Amino acid sequence: MEQKTVLVVDFEFTMPDGKYHPQNFFPEIIEAGVVKAADETIIDTFSSYVKPKKFPKLTKRCKSFLGITQEDVESGISFEEFIEKLVSLDGGENCEIITWGNMDMKVLKQNCMLNHIAFPFKGKLRDLAFEYKTFFGDRTLTGLRKAAKEYGSEGAGKHHKALDDAMTTYQLLTLFEKDRAYVENPQTTKIGELIDFSHFFDSAD
């Protein structure tokens, strides 16, 4: 049987300086982090800056919020090279693409469309933040690092660093899948685990 592969993906995007966007502004992927795993074992990781094309100059807000410099993105790979890398990591139709929230895939699809490049993934897309919200009955979506804290973890590395956030999402995925499997198929509890018989034996001595 073919093993199930997951690609946990996190992207960082360009952003405008304030609430007033430049004309025709759209977010472009400028940093990518990917964790590839099979059978709960990490088999590959990928991290790179990506050069923005339409709005190549980063805004002050973007640099400050993400801690990314203009030199970082200018040293990055082209969007075309980035998509080629994603295609090489993709595990085909049996591979699940995991993100925290739906923005990563929305922006990737938009960027591909605007660059006239085919979307690189063939497998099922999963928004782990939405699954987490639904499973725990939360009213709103939980941020990645807050969800990690709820599981007793600070997460991996630095927040808004793409590979660190992808690694944190992967950690949450493994914990969450165990919780969900337990709830859907709890182990049958034996009566001996519910009642302490030890005092009966003590009184019989």
* Secondary element (H or E) of residue 38: strand 29-38
Give yes or no for a contact between 151 and 179, defined as CB atoms under 8 angstroms apart: no
Contacts of 143 (CB under 8 A, 6+ apart): none
Whether 12 is a known active-site residue: answer yes
Please tell me what DSSP assigns to residue 143: P
- 2, 12, 21, 81: the catalytic one is 12
Cα separation, 185 vs 122, in Å, equals: 30
Give whole-number Cα distances, 19 to 15, 22, 25, in Å: 10, 10, 12
Strand-strand pairing, 124-127 and 41-49: unpaired
- Specify the length of the chain in residues: 205
Residue 107: CA count within 13 A, CB half-sphere? 22
- 131, 159, 160, 177: the catalytic one is 160
Whether 160 is a known active-site residue: answer yes
Place of tokens 């966007």: 21
Cα separation, 104 vs 97, in Å, equals: 11
Catalytic residues: 12, 160
